[in-house]
Amino acid sequence: MLVTCCQLTEMITDRKEGKLSSEQEEGCARHLAWCDRCRTYLRQMELTVDALRGIPGEPLHDEVRAALFAQFQRRKTAAD
């Protein structure tokens, strides 16, 4: 299967999720072997996804933590 650059940009997620047919998979692999621009695109998609995993979370404020703990204790006492 012949895959264009434009088509490849639409197949990246399905490929990552293992949802391409073997024919599509082969077409993608062949395209990526010769197209450095699409390899750049693929790399940028991977970097984006990996960076998302590393987004720092907001710190949990002590007051919130304390309020939740109090709530937890009350619930627990009520249940016991």
Note the residues at the interface with other proteins (CB under 8 A).
Answer: 4-7, 9-10, 12-14, 17-19, 37-38, 40-41, 43-45, 47-58, 60, 64-65, 67-69, 71-72, 74-76, 78-79
Measured from the CB atom, is 19 or 23 closer to other proteins? Answer: 19
Helices and strands in the chain, H and E counts: 4, 0
Between CA 23 and CA 80 the distance in angstroms is 60
Through-space distance between the first and last CA atoms of the chain, rounded to whole angstroms:
64
Q: What is the DSSP letter of 3?
A: -
Measured from the CB atom, is 26 or 43 closer to other proteins? Answer: 43
Measured from the CB atom, is 23 or 46 closer to other proteins? Answer: 46
